[in-house]
Amino acid sequence: MSCKAGLRHHPIRIRQPQLTEQLPGTGRPAEIFKIDLPLPDLSAWQGGAHDIPGVCIFDSGTAGPEIVVSALVHGNEYAGACALERLRQTNPVPRSGRLTLILANLSAFNAFDRTRPLHSRYCDEDLNRVWHPGRLSGHEHSLELDRARRIRPFIQRADLLLDIHSTLWPSEPLFIVPPRPRSVELACALASGKELPALVLTDLGHNGGPRLIEEGHFMSAGGTGRSCLLEAGQHWEKNTVTVAEAAILRLLEQAENIHLAGKSSELDHPAVTAIVTDNVLARSSDFTFVEPWVGGKNIPHAGSVIARDGDDLICTPYDNCLLIMPNHRPRRGQLAVRLARICTASQS
């Protein structure tokens, strides 16, 4: 991947001596979210394979790739769970190898309240920040950490992992991968499929801890496990389920090719790779964007003001800067937006 990610033409943060009425900013939007997607009936998942709730296994009985598709890592992101439940009902035995479906945080999902939809992301802590080997092998306990330990054996045997998520604020769908070429290959093979997002993003991870796609099995230098995360759309929109289903179907169709050759056998459109160069954190409680940006927006010119943060203006550092999943109500110290540079189109 060559995208000259270190090149800059303009500083990101510029301190203003005084705030004036002319400074840009749209204000912080209200936390009012429309829920168009009905809650799925996940009662069939309560037993689970090996007496582990939320795990279903479909074995072809022949040698082939270990495919794992996970969803519901965050309890209020149930669009992926809708897709997996529909898939489960079709008895999706793969052509070869074994398919494992995981609904990761049923406990948080069971606490979902549509009048407080943001409150069931997790129970004790974020399940997508606990995947450090030291924590997993340690002595501390939380509902999510203990759950990660229970499903970890299925994760560690995966040749191909697709982890399905969704976004709170409006954003174009995209794939996210850890900084490993083999995982970029997986995501590019999926992203080149029909009706799937073309963007494959390599990012800087999270300060709070490793995500599922960064579990040691996928990060080891000599390993073969490939992982990617799909942000399929907004949390409670029906189209998010459609995108998730398309990605799962693409994975099942191309699993053997991806596992053996690192690419797909057919290409609907080229994948586009990008790399995050900067995580912009809110330093004040008054971080506001100058426009209600949708994630994936390409800002053509370096130095364009995209937000203000207290006395600071936030600017794009280079031409054709992608705004990745802007958070329109960040708390102080929280990630407000990622800035990414487009690399090249990938023929996968």
- CATH number of the domain residue 231 falls in: 3.40.630.10
Per-residue pLDDT at 86 exceeds 90: yes
Structural domain includes residue 65: yes
Claim to verify: residue 78 and residue 131 sit in the same structural domain: yes
Residue 189 CA to residue 130 CA, distance in Å, equals 28
Domain assignment of residue 1, yes or no: no
Q: Are residues 172 and 282 in the same domain?
A: no
Structural domain contains residue 2: no
- Tokens standing for 275? 């790399």
The stretch 223-247 carries a mean pLDDT of 97
pLDDT at 344: 77
Q: How confident is the model at residue 347 (pLDDT cuts 50, 70, 90)?
A: low
Are residues 259 and 284 both part of a single domain?
no
Together in a domain, 52 and 197: yes
Residue 19 has pLDDT above 60, yes or no: no
Q: CATH code at 304?
A: 2.40.50.630
Average pLDDT, the chain: 93
**Domain, as residue range, for 138:** 43-269
CB 214 within 8 A of CB 223: no
> Could you report the per-residue pLDDT of 144-164, keeping only the tens digit for each?
999 999 999 999 999 999 999
Closest CA to 236 of 113, 69, 328: 113
Q: What is the pTM of this model?
A: 0.94
Asked, for residue 315, whether it belongs to a domain, the answer is: yes
The mean pLDDT value for 299-325 works out to 97
- What whole-number distance in Å separates Cα of residue 201 and Cα of residue 277? 11
Same domain, 322 and 253: no
Mean pLDDT of 212-233: 96
Q: What angle do CA 91, 214, 224 make, to 5 degrees?
A: 70
Backbone angles phi, psi at 147, to 5 degrees: -65, -40
- 4: in domain: no
- Indicate whether 242 belongs to any domain: yes
On the question of pLDDT at 23 being above 60, the answer is: no
Residues 66 and 131 in one domain: yes
Q: Given a cut of 90, is residue 16 above it in pLDDT?
A: no
Q: If you average pLDDT over residues 65-85, what whole number do you get? A: 98
Q: What is the pLDDT of residue 1?
A: 46
Phi and psi dihedrals of 49, rounded to 5? -70, 145
> What's the pLDDT band for 10 if we cut at 50, 70, 90?
confident
317 & 172 share domain: no
- pLDDT band of 29, cuts 50, 70, 90: low
Task: Report in angstroms the alpha-carbon separations of 174 from 122, 229, 304.
Answer: 23, 8, 24
What's the pLDDT score for residue 147? 98
pLDDT for 20 beyond 80: no
Last residue of a domain, one of 229, 245, 269: 269
Please report whether residue 7 resides in a domain.
Answer: no
Give the pLDDT score at 220. 95
* Band (206; pLDDT cuts 50, 70, 90): confident
pLDDT in tens, 288-306: 999 999 999 999 999 999 9
* The total number of structural domains that make up the chain: 2
Q: Are strands 199-202 and 321-324 parallel, antiparallel or unpaired?
A: unpaired
Same domain assignment for residues 298 and 265: no
Say whether both 217 and 284 belong to one domain: no
Predicted confidence (pLDDT) at residue 3 exceeds the cutoff of 80: no
Does residue 58 share a domain with residue 159? yes
